[in-house]
Amino acid sequence: MTTKRIVGIVLLMVGVAVLLLGLNVSHSVVDRVSSSLTGGFTEATTWYIIGGATWGLMGLLLVFFGGGCNRDLDWQWHAIDSADCRSVGVNQTKESKER
């Protein structure tokens, strides 16, 4: 498991926790009074919901797309394609594969 995927899992868990906290706070007495007077949540509740959803989405994207090969450049400054990364490894180039 790559570091990016581990960070993605952590971000996903924190994002879900903050989102649930924001949704729970939205049902509090203060927030109900605020929403009845202003028509919306308090600013803190809004930021909890937006922040939790954003962190959760970033974590989910890192979990699904964060692994794999680093697309480094070889000596000829050509990008190593993902098939070479899987078959050769991250730190090797096309020339070392042919040898």
Alpha helices in the chain (DSSP H): 3-25, 29-38, 43-65, 82-88, 94-98
Q: What's CA 45's distance to the chain center, in Å? A: 22
- Which parts of the chain register pLDDT below 70? 68-99
pLDDT value at position 66?
81
Let me know the angle formed at the C-alpha of 45 by 44 and 49, rounded to the nearest 5 degrees: 120
In sequence order, what are the residues at sequence separation of 6 or more whose Cβ sits closer than 8 angstroms to the Cβ of residue 75? Answer: 93, 95
pLDDT value at position 99?
54
pTM of the model: 0.64
